[in-house]
Amino acid sequence: MEIRNNDPGAVQYGNFFNYYQFSDATERVKLLPDADIWLPALIDGESQGDKPYFILDVGCNCGVLTQLMHKYLKERLRRTVKVLGVDIDPRLIQRATAENESPEDVSYACVDVLDDAAFESVKTYMKENDLQKFDAICCYSITMWIHLNHHDQGLRFFLQKLSNLAELLVVEPQPWKCYQKAERRLKKAGEIFPLFLELKWRSDVDLQIQNYLEESLDRRKLFESAPTKWQRKICFYR
Ligand SMILES: C[S@@+](CC[C@H](N)C(=O)[O-])C[C@H]1O[C@@H](n2cnc3c(N)ncnc32)[C@H](O)[C@@H]1O
């Protein structure tokens, strides 16, 4: 795909085909914290044993960050790490599957996480692996796309739905500046986000997300990374 003016192009769901030419996944994975943040505090006498550590990576695109995170965590946690990466775009999932370097531990499925019928494949994965919850659910750079397409209540529903299934919730929200850029790009391409002007969570959207997770979903922030080159912070909530 040709890239003009260093512009990733206009898309509705953040389903950029060339995403990792712009977002350096190697640099982002370096911002992830060490094992203690990923693991729950153990009560005396409890042990994690040899049980694999299970992650759901929501909006995994073509899997580049997913693969790097898998490798990073396998080394840090010194146990098997299993990842299910899901994305709304079947072409990205096809590519992620074709380029999967660890098919024994990493799998991919095409799922719109807000679609209950499609989300059944995540539920099936949980049943097959005897999971009540994932050890961690990662939402890297996806909140803005959920927000732009499903409004404030859709974003709250997304956070609540995933929070219910996660021991640890990892969120890298896009700040408002990114919304303005995405809106400008789509406008240039002759389209619009119909909900853009109606959003109530706006200039401080990252703070609104944090308040919602802490106050309404009763989560506690354990860690916040240094900002990425796009001024996004990766936040860990237990
Ligand atoms: C900007 S990319 C981020 C990719 C990756 N998480 C990262 O940070 O490197 C956002 C991804 O979310 C996906 N996405 C958007 N809405 C989704 C939905 N409702 N369900 C699943 N995936 C979705 C897009 O297709 C896209 O690949």
Q: What is the pLDDT of residues 128-148, one digit of tens each?
A: 999 999 999 999 999 999 999
Cα-to-centroid distance, 108 and ligand 1 (Å): 13
In this structure, which amino acid lies at residue 44?
D
| SS3 of the chain: helix, strand, coil, percent, to 5 | 40, 15, 40
Helical ranges in 31-142 per DSSP H: 35-38, 64-77, 90-98, 116-128
Atom 26 of ligand 1, nearest CA residue: 15
Mean of pLDDT over the chain: 93
A 10 A CB-CB count for 138 gives 27
Answer whether residue 152 shows pLDDT above 60.
yes
Q: Which has more confidence, 229 or 92?
A: 92
Residue closest by Cα to atom 2 of ligand 1: 14
What CATH number is given to the structural domain containing 225?
3.40.50.150
pTM higher than 0.75? yes
Q: What is the C-alpha separation between 150 and 169, in angstroms, rounded?
A: 20
For residue 115, the CA-to-ligand 1 centroid distance in Å is 14
Strand arrangement of the beta sheet that strand 106-110 belongs to: 106-110, 81-87, 53-58, 134-140, 166-172, 235-237, 221-224
Q: Which domain holds residue 168?
A: 50-237
Strand bridging mode 166-172 / 235-237: antiparallel
Total number of domains constituting the chain: 1
pLDDT for the residue 41? 79
- Does residue 58 sit within a domain? yes
Answer whether residue 196 is part of any domain. yes
Q: Is residue 181 part of a domain?
A: yes
Q: Tell me if 143 is assigned to some domain.
A: yes
Model confidence over 34-87: pLDDT tens digits?
Answer: 999 999 976 666 666 679 999 999 999 999 999 999 999 999 999 999 999 999
Domain membership of residue 61 (yes or no) is: yes
